[in-house]
């Protein structure tokens, strides 16, 4: 965990997304490369929900505001009309605000750590 938090050893987008997808949705798709499909970090879709992750294996990026879920992005995700799960380092709104937008927020990297 320390190595992730300090940037000493950061997993690739694919590895992290795969691990989170397994814990969050019990979905394992080893043959599929998980990569962001748009600027909002959409990386997987099921019938029920879309999965987003704001992540780059770059510690400076993770420490920056770009790594956080902000309102404009949250509203854009909401506008897709589907339930969403967003993995990110932090968020600039309350969970209640997100609940109203049908978004569940999961914090990186703790989400991985707690459910490991």
Partner 1 sequence: MELKEYQTRALDALTRWREQLAASEKRLSQLITRSPELVEPGDYNHPLRAWQKLADNGDVPFPNRPYVERTDAMKRPIPHICFRVPTGGGKTLLATVAIERLNISRGLVLWMVPSNAIFAQTKAALKNLEHPYRQALERASGGNFRFLEKNTPFDEPMLADSLCVMLISLQSANRKNNKEFLKIHQSSGAYMSFFPDIDDKDGHTKLRGENPDLEPHGADERITHSLHNVIKLKRPLIILDEAHKAYGQQGNDSDEYRDTISNMNPRMIIELSATPKMTRSNILVDVPGSDLKTEEMIKLPIEVRSEENVDWRNTLDKARAKLDELHGAAKPLDHNERRYIRPIAVVRVERTGKDQQDGEHVHAYDVRDHLIKSGVPECGIAIKSAQEDNLGQEDLLSRNSEITWIITKDALKEGWDCPFAYVLVLLDRTTAPTAITQMVGRVMRQPDARLTGQESLDRSYVYCGYTDVDLAVKRVKTGLELEGMGDLHQNGSVVLGSSLSSPVKTLTVQRRQQFRHVEIFLPKVRHRSFDGGWEELDYRRHILPEIDLGIIGAPEPQSAHANQPREETSIVDLDATGITEKSYGNQPLDVDESVNIAWYARHISDVLPNPFQAARIVQDTIKRMRNAKQNDSEIYAQRNPLVVQLRSHVKAELDKQAEQIFLKKIESGDIQCNLETTDHNYRMRPSLKVPVPEDATQLQHHGEPVQLPLFEKTYAHQYNNDERSFALYLDQAKALQWWHRVAVRQDGEYFLRGWRQDRIWPDFVAVMNAKSDKPGLLIFETKGTHLEGHEDTDYKKRVLKALQDSYNAGTMTVHNGPAKGIFRLVFFREGFPDAETAFRELQAAYA
Binding site for partner 1 (CB under 8 A): 1-2, 5-7, 59, 62-65, 67-68, 70-72, 83, 89-97, 99, 102, 107-110, 113-115
Phi, psi of 106 (to 5 degrees): -130, 130
Q: Write down the least CB distance from residue 8 to partner 1, Å.
A: 10
Cα–Cα distances in angstroms (integers) from residue 26 to residues 22, 57, 80, in the given order? 4, 24, 23
Q: Of 35 and 114, which CB lies nearer to partner 1 in the complex structure?
A: 114
In the complex, minimum distance from the CB of residue 18 to partner 1, in angstroms, rounded to a whole number? 19
Structure tokens at 108: 């990186």
Task: Between 7 and 36, name the residue whose CB sits nearer to partner 1.
Answer: 7
Tokens linked to 39: 């600027």
The answer to whether the Cα torsion of 35, 38, 42, 46 is positive or negative is negative
Q: How far is the CB of 112 from partner 1 (least distance, A)?
A: 11
Closest CB to partner 1 among 30 and 48?
A: 48
Nearest distance, CB of residue 34 and partner 1, angstroms: 21
Token output for 109: 């990297």
Determine how many CB atoms are found less than 10 A away from the CB of residue 113: 12
81: tokens are 């009309």
The residue (of 33 and 113) whose beta carbon lies closer to partner 1 is 113
């Amino acid at each position: 965990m320390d190595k992730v938090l300090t940037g000493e050893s950061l997993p690739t987008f694919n590895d992290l997304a795969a691990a989170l997808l397994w814990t969050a949705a019990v979905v394992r798709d080893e043959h599929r490369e998980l990569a962001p499909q748009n600027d909002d970090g959409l990386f997987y879709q099921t019938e029920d929900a879309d999965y987003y992750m704001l992540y780059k294996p770059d510690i400076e990026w993770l420490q920056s505001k770009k790594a956080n879920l902000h309102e404009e992005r949250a509203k854009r995700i909401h506008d897709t009309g589907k339930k969403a799960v967003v993995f990110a380092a932090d968020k600039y709104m309350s969970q209640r605000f997100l609940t109203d937008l049908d978004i569940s927020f999961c914090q990186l990297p703790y989400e991985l750590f707690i459910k490991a």
